[in-house]
């Protein structure tokens, strides 16, 4: 289909549409500058608080690493007894790392178990698998069964992870 001369001339005279001016990304009002400054400040404060909390919980990470090492030693028959008897010392060192020495160092047996229950509800130390901690610390022949030891390990791991260091 051939185009006539008038149509060809009309098509030749067409021009491109002009593009609008570029849109500025700069906010038009001062309020957006305040919103931006507030967001940046809030993000900086949140990052600082996260960093402080992360540093404050270094003792928990260390205790959990040592707990994993103890669990590996518990799996070996040669080191099983020594690892089981090292568990109370790990709990005591962890408590000393987060609480004033005057409050924790003197505690033993019932007071110690009550402290552990108080710092990590719902407890399980004064009445439960935690009763093995003083026995493992002070009695050389004390050996819990495998299920009791696993319950004690789970309880100690929960205490290390979730205890409230402010109490």
65: tokens are: 């690493």
Lowest mean pLDDT among 1-5, 49-53, 107-111, 158-162: 1-5
Q: Is residue 27 part of a domain?
A: no
Sequence-ordered list of residues with C-beta below 8 angstroms from that of 62, at least 6 positions apart, any chain: 97
Q: Does 109 map to a domain?
A: yes
pLDDT grade for 1, boundaries at 50, 70 and 90: low
Residue 117 lies in a domain: yes
With beta carbons less than 8 A apart as the criterion, state whether 159 and 116 touch: yes
> What are the tens digits of pLDDT across the range 16-62?
888 999 988 888 888 988 999 999 999 999 999 999 999 999 999 99
What does pTM read for this prediction?
A: 0.74
The answer to whether residue 67 sits within a structural domain is yes
- Whether residue 23 is contained in a domain is answered as no
Structural domain contains residue 73: yes
Q: 146: domain range?
A: 58-162
The pLDDT assigned to 24 comes to 85
Phi, psi of 15 (to 5 degrees): -120, 155
Residue with tokens 């819990």: 144
Number of folded domains in the chain?
Answer: 1
CB-based burial label for 53 (10 Å; 0-12, 13-18, 19+): exposed
Q: Let me know if 49 is exposed, middle or buried by CB neighbors in 10 A (0-12, 13-18, 19+).
A: exposed
Q: Is residue 38 part of a domain?
A: no
Tens of pLDDT, residue by residue over 107-137, are 888 899 999 989 888 888 888 898 898 888 8
103 assigned to some structural domain: yes
């Amino acid at each position: 289909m051939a185009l006539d001369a008038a149509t060809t001339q009309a098509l030749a005279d067409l021009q491109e549409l002009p593009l609008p001016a570029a849109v500025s990304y700069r906010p038009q009002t001062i309020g957006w500058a305040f919103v931006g400054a507030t967001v940046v400040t809030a993000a900086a404060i949140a990052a600082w608080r996260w960093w402080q909390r992360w540093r404050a919980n270094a003792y928990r990470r260390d205790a959990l690493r040592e707990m994993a090492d103890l669990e590996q030693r518990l799996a070996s028959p040669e080191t099983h007894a020594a690892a089981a008897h090292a568990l109370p010392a790990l709990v005591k060192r962890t408590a000393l790392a987060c609480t004033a020495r005057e409050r924790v160092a003197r505690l033993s047996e019932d007071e110690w178990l009550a402290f552990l229950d108080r710092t990590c509800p719902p407890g399980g130390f004064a009445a439960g698998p935690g009763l093995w901690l003083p026995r493992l610390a002070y009695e050389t022949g004390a050996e819990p069964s495998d299920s009791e030891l696993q319950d004690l390990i789970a309880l100690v791991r929960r205490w290390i992870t979730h205890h409230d260091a402010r109490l």
